[in-house]
Chains A and B, each alone.
Chain A
Amino acid sequence: MKLARRDLLKLAGGAALGTFFTPAPWKALDDVSIWTQNWSWMPVPPRGEATTRFTTCTLCPAGCPVRARCIGKQPVSLAGVGGGLCPAGLAGHHLPHYPGRVRGASHRGTRCTMDAAVAAVREVAKGGRVAILDQRPGRTASLVYRRWLAGQEGGLYLTPPAREDATLVALGGGLAFNLDEARTVVSFGAPLMEGWGSMARVLESRPKFHLVQIEARQSRTASMADTWLPAKPGTEAALALGLAHLLGSQDAGRFTPEYVERITGVPAAQVRQVARRMKDAGPAVVIGGGDPAGPFNREEEQAIAGLNLLAGAMGRTIVPRAEVPVPAGFDKLAAETALDDVPDGGIRLLIIDEAASGNPVPWSYLKRKLAPGAMVAAAACSLDGYASHADYVLPAPVYMETAQDVPAACDSPAATFSMAPGLLAPPEETIEPADFVLRVAGEGGTLAELLKARVEAIHKTRRGSVVTYADGTATPLAEMASADDLAKAFKAGARWTDAGTSSEAPGIAFAAVDAAAIERRAASAQFPLALVPFGWRGAAGPVSPIFSKLYQESRVRSSEGEARLNPATAREYGILDGGLMVVETSCGSQAMTACLDEGVMPGVIEAAIEPGTGVLEICDVEDWCGWRTAPARMRRA
């Protein structure tokens, strides 16, 4: 039989017809659609038992209690305990997977062993003039640094200048704010509503006080303040002296409201109004600094802090706070040294603990303090910060991996202690920065052991009470049988709060304010253009990749390399919204994208110090002390 073309056609026709009466095409169509619903390249969330664990956030000084929803041991979402969390805290469990994470110790870019790093650092340390920059003072790790430095010749214990408790430090230390008592809060640029002290506490007290925000830019805090006084950048301290004058200070004789208006641009009537409020609607408290982007210099901070004495804050809104008990063996501790006081070229070995992100200091500023050929060792999680300039980079565990204690925030009237127990195991190659210093010191022991000793020391006091995060129950410490019970409670998530706050007015003899210096600075701050960096807590350290939501996808935060300026200023320089511009200071220039904003003071360029920008570096103008503002030039690119 010969097959004709027609026969084959018939065959095919029959087959085609038949196929429609089988499940094959329909099932295949269905399965193909199901395939698109389960593509193999789609990530699959973990399966397993859901558990709840607790920790304390170490990403900023607030130390918020955190509830972690976990699958097995892996946290999959975080929440505050009895309150919210900030964006950084909410995505803290992503940090172990930060794409730019440091893996393994290295010496100038080449891998080395930890032992080699320890040996090299120890060798240099023998020569003295050793300094440690501790980004998060007040921890047990800080005690380790201070003890070691006390034994070194010329050992310097450094902390970042732009601290939230800068005002308290200026008043002599050992103090805390008590916002709950305050009815008027005068903030000199402190980001009270954005991340300062403990967010939960600030928000709880907020309805009770009138907030006066003195800040050149309309920050979030300024826009939410009851009164906003936009003083020209660099003239804030003059405004402080103006207020001091109205509150009866002798030092500030020349600073009449009219004179202040001329310098700062704040109407005299408003200055009077604020002074009246401080007098009549007390108790008042004056807070300076704390802006992550830049600190006030010493004179400025002192002028601001001094207002508290005039306003009668001491003992009411600023109270003495006891230290958390320290275990034996920490008798000799190096005192804090202000970075400003370190002579240029005065450091031979600088160890930086940047595992806990703090307020950044421009590298150029640190570099000036280094002797030629000085060694820098940075314990860091990523290369974005100082680690990129360091000789030795020591990979540090990140939040969730690190077992740390969390000191009290600056607005906690009582001493507190809590712990981040380290919910995840750190990668093998990492080292706790304090353990590194302990190894360099050759003192033996680990941070974990010292934490245990500290818990024992706390337990010995029998004071105060312990609140567990899980159910909020408070147990008097005296009722805890053993230090082990206390340690267990801390591990499971708990906070110890010292008994009773002291309302005793600390006897502070305040140093006279150098009004002349402030006047000089304020007068020289009358430049046509000012570059004002701004940042937010945690911006200096690594952040979760999810932050693209805030930078890129919603623009709720300024994205990398964006400068905000007033439309009038932009017009003057011929700059368009979204256009490229170059900002220049005496120490460098930076290309930025213009973003026009009526909320910015004319003549001011606001630049975010988000990760990856070099803004801070060009703000560090040498003869202008500090990087809070910098005289700048600008042109269209």
Chain B
Amino acid sequence: MDKELIIRGVRRASMGRFLLWLVPWAALLAFGVYAAGLCLYKGLGETNMDNRFAFGLWIFLDLSVIALGAGAFFTGFLFYILKKKELKAVINSAVVIGFVCYSGAVVVLAVDVGQPLRAWFTFWHPNVHSMLTEVTFCITCYLGVLAVEYVPILLKNRKLREVPRFLVFEWELHRLMYVLAAVGTFLSFFHQGSLGGLYGVLQGRPFAFREGFALWPSTFFLFILSAMAVGPSFMVLTTSLVQKITRKALVKPEVMQEMGRISGILLIVYVLAKTVDTLVWINSTSPSLGFPAHRFYASGPFGTWILFAEIVLFGLVPALILLSRDRRARMPWLISAASLACCGIVLNRFVMTIQTQAVPSLPFLPFVTYTPNWQEVGTFLAVVAYGVLVYSISFRYLPLFPQEKDLAR
């Protein structure tokens, strides 16, 4: 049965080895489900979050994961809308990774809110002024889009292709793909942005607050830009990771380099925008709210080094590497630059979520610290495990990398 499901022309590990690979991840998933269940059953008192640190590890990682998952929409956008045909090599993998990231994030959010059974109120009684409403609407819709985009990949399975009706359906879906990619791009654009807006609009938190353009604060645009910039980098990383683990060539190096180049161009734009934004914030926004910016870096572990790391080390440096044809042609350079870029976006999301809350607003409040406990870490690891499981199974039975067959030959 297993053999019949595997795509013709590629080699996969034996069923036993595959199961051996799955077992630890399944165990991790079970552990995480237990941790999450504890939080759902007893309340969020099970976590280390508190009234001063109302958002913790989960929100930080949700933001990071969604930013990294942006590879899905951006690759789709490049492939379907901008007709960058060489990206066909990774588009399926991108969709699966996007689906895994988004569905995982939504599951964690359901544990993170205190009353998940009331979550639908946001759709029934929405507050249109809230960035979170925008996030909820867009993420839910986009998750739907991703699910639909996932279907044709599923239908490419060897066994399912035997059903003629599915073939027709897949073909119909393919024609629809351009529309879906456009819708997905639109939705992603907005929720990546509104995730940034989430913090940028917080007038009461001068550390996060940014002046706006039209409806949105500058973080709205910075988040979109950074997600687009890092999405391809993350694709490079995951693809090379899968190649390492499976010990197979899956994608032509040119494709990887091309993704690195796109990442590099966008990253340099982002770094410029971020620099301008930071300067405006330091010199105008923050002081005008009564908070000289240097105060945010005066106490606790978060010094100005964090700004340096965010903009130069994890921004400018990978951008320059990726923009250099010679450097990105060499795999170690490409991988390192992509990793740096990914670290940069994670650090940025960390600063926006965690540091924002750690710096006190009232003058007599101390700098607060927070460490996630095992329930929080466990719940998140469950999502990682879930992601690995879905991706592994998809990789085994679905043609995630169309070039694999050619490269195997």
Contacts and interface: CB of A to CB of B under 8 A. Distances in A.
**A–B contact (CB under 8 angstroms):** yes
Interface of A: 29, 32-33, 35-36
A29 B115 contact: no
Nearest to A29: B120
Contacts of A35: 117
The 4 A-B residue pairs whose C-beta atoms are closest, nearest first, are A33-B118, A36-B117, A32-B117, A36-B115
Residue among A29, A32, A33, A35 having the largest count of chain B Cβ atoms under 10 Å: A33
Contacts of B117: 32-33, 35-36
Nearest to B51: A553
Nearest to A33: B118
B364 interface: no
B41 interface: no
Interface in B111-135: 115, 117-118, 120-121
A32 B120 CA distance: 11
Interface of B: 115, 117-118, 120-121
Contacts of B121: 33
A32 B119 CA distance: 11
A29 B118 CA distance: 9
A35 B115 CA distance: 11
Contacts of B118: 33, 36
A455 to B, nearest CB: 51
Contacts of A32: 117
The majority secondary structure among interface residues of chain B is helix
A23 to B, nearest CB: 15
B365 to A, nearest CB: 13
Nearest to B121: A33
10 contacts: A29-B120, A32-B117, A33-B117, A33-B118, A33-B120, A33-B121, A35-B117, A36-B115, A36-B117, A36-B118
Contacts of B120: 29, 33
A29 B116 CA distance: 12
A33 B117 CA distance: 6
Nearest to B118: A33
A37 to B, nearest CB: 8
A36 B43 CA distance: 13
A35 B118 CA distance: 10
Contacts of A36: 115, 117-118
Contacts of A29: 120
Given A33-B118, A33-B120, 8 more contacts: A29-B120, A32-B117, A33-B117, A33-B121, A35-B117, A36-B115, A36-B117, A36-B118
A567 to B, nearest CB: 15
B68 to A, nearest CB: 33
Nearest to B116: A36
A201 to B, nearest CB: 32
Nearest to B114: A36
A36 to B, nearest CB: 5
A268 to B, nearest CB: 36
B299 to A, nearest CB: 14
Nearest to A35: B117
A322 to B, nearest CB: 50
A29 B121 CA distance: 10
A33 B119 CA distance: 9
A68 to B, nearest CB: 32
A313 to B, nearest CB: 40
Nearest to B115: A36
A36 B115 CA distance: 8
B146 to A, nearest CB: 22
Contacts of B115: 36
A352 B115 CA distance: 52
A158 to B, nearest CB: 45
B372 to A, nearest CB: 21
A203 to B, nearest CB: 25
A33 B115 CA distance: 9
Nearest to A553: B51
B161 to A, nearest CB: 18
Nearest to B120: A29
B162 to A, nearest CB: 15
B316 to A, nearest CB: 40
A34 to B, nearest CB: 10
B323 to A, nearest CB: 49
A154 to B, nearest CB: 57
A41 to B, nearest CB: 12
A346 to B, nearest CB: 53
A88 to B, nearest CB: 26
A413 B118 CA distance: 61
A35 B116 CA distance: 12
